Amino acid sequence: MQRTPPTLPLSDDHSVALRKDQSAERWLMLSLAGPALLLVLVCMLLPVGWLFYLSFFTEDGAASLVNYRNLIEQPSYARIFRTTFEVSLLTTAICALVGYPLAYFLSQLPTRIANLCMIAVLLPFWTSLLVRTYAWLILLQRTGLINTWGIDLGLWSEPLPLVHNMTGTLIGMVHIMLPFVVLPLYNSMRTIDRSLIQAAANLGASPVQGFWRVFFPLSLPGLMAGSLVAFILCLGVYVTPAVLGGGKVIMVSSRIALDIDTFLNWGSASALGVVLLLLTFLLLLLASRLTKGLSLLGSGH
């Protein structure tokens, strides 16, 4: 009763060869990603690591935790972080509220007309951020176009405080961030299969039901992707609150600029950067937990 296990050596050879192939393929794939990985390493990990390192030194170059202790002890820092997240959240929420109907409208148009309308959304993208921000200043200030016209037309009698405060900052920020929300949203709406909505109607759903129960859930990944990009960009914005906030909307970036430009204190500025980064990570982690089951980056339905 001798039975040699059939073709075992052969299969061994095969599997070894297969594994070799597999690993070769993996390395090939990795090498394809190499340039991108290198870029991330050079442009992202090294500077962040350097920041992290710097944040543990005082102005005199002595190692200490004083930069982080200041963040806790001085009440202005907590308030600055609160303002930063408040402005970012509000901007993102307004962008989503304004951007969703716009993207929906565009997605229902014939492609050619939609593309034309898209120019209106993209136009701000092609204009310098500074120019747009100062344009808002000219429109919104006490002697600006809106207040002058409003008073001339008798709509209101005293100039409205539209700028040099939170209102002005939000107007400017929403204008800048809107394309970041609309573009992915429009894209995801375009790819939604129309026959699904027809099927819903066939099965007796009213148009409103069809929208909320079929279309809206399918467009959520696009909404999430757009909102996330806008939110993260908002966190680092410097120019818009500096110009339209009138010194009353102080965000982390402007405090970093103060520390470096006026006080040459890189350690303190770095600590701010590190904490902002960590808080952002935490918040995103929380967001992904809360929206579990709903893919954050818009892959699949």
Partner 1 sequence: MTRKRSTLAFAITAFAGAIALGNATSAGAQELTVVSFGGAYQDGQSKALFQPAAKALGIKLKEETYTGISAVAVKVKAGAVTWDIVTSGSGSAARAGAEGFLEKLDYKVIDKSSFFPGTAQDYCVGGDVFSTVMAWNTKTYGANGPKSWADFWDVKKFPGKRSYRKDVAGALEPALMADGVPPEKVYEVLSAPGGIERAIKKIKELKPHIAVWWSSGAQHAQLMKDGEVDMITGWNGRFDVVAKDGAKVAYTFNQGLLDYDCYAIPKGAPHKDLAMKFLNEIVKPQYQAEFTKFITYGPTNKKAYEIGAIDAAYAKTLPSHPDNVAKQLSINLDWYIKNETKAAAAYQNMLTE
Residues 85-124, one symbol each (x = binds partner 1 by CB under 8 A, - = not), give ----------------------------------------
Chosen residue from 55, 57, 71, 83 binding partner 1 by CB under 8 A:
83
Q: Which amino acid is at 84?
A: T
Binding to partner 1 by CB under 8 A, coded x per residue (else -) over 233-252, reads ---------x---xxx-x--
64 binds partner 1 (CB under 8 A): no
Least Cβ distance, residue 17 to partner 1 (angstroms): 26
CA-based nearest residue to 183, from 94, 88, 292, 99: 99
Question: b/e string for 153-189 if b means 16 or more Cβ within 10 A?
Answer: eeeeeeeeebbbbbbbbbbbbbbbbbbbbbbbbbebb
Q: Does 53 bind partner 1 (CB under 8 A)?
A: no
Residue span 180-219 as binding mask against partner 1, x where in contact by CB under 8 A, dash where not: ----------------------------------------
Q: Return the H-helix or E-strand segment holding 174.
A: helix 166-190
Handedness of CA 54, 52, 275, 184 (dihedral sign): positive
From the list 142, 193, 291, 297, which residue makes contact with partner 1 (rule: CB under 8 A)? 142
Query: C-alpha distances in angstroms, 230 versus 21, 175, 245, 264?
Result: 42, 11, 19, 31
The burial of 92, by beta-carbon neighbours within 10 Å (0-12 exposed, 13-18 middle, 19 or more buried), is given as buried
**Given the complex with partner 1, which of 185 and 244 has the nearer CB atom?**
244
Note the residues at the interface with partner 1 (CB under 8 A).
Answer: 59, 70, 74-76, 79-80, 83, 141-143, 161, 164, 242, 246-248, 250, 255, 258, 260-264
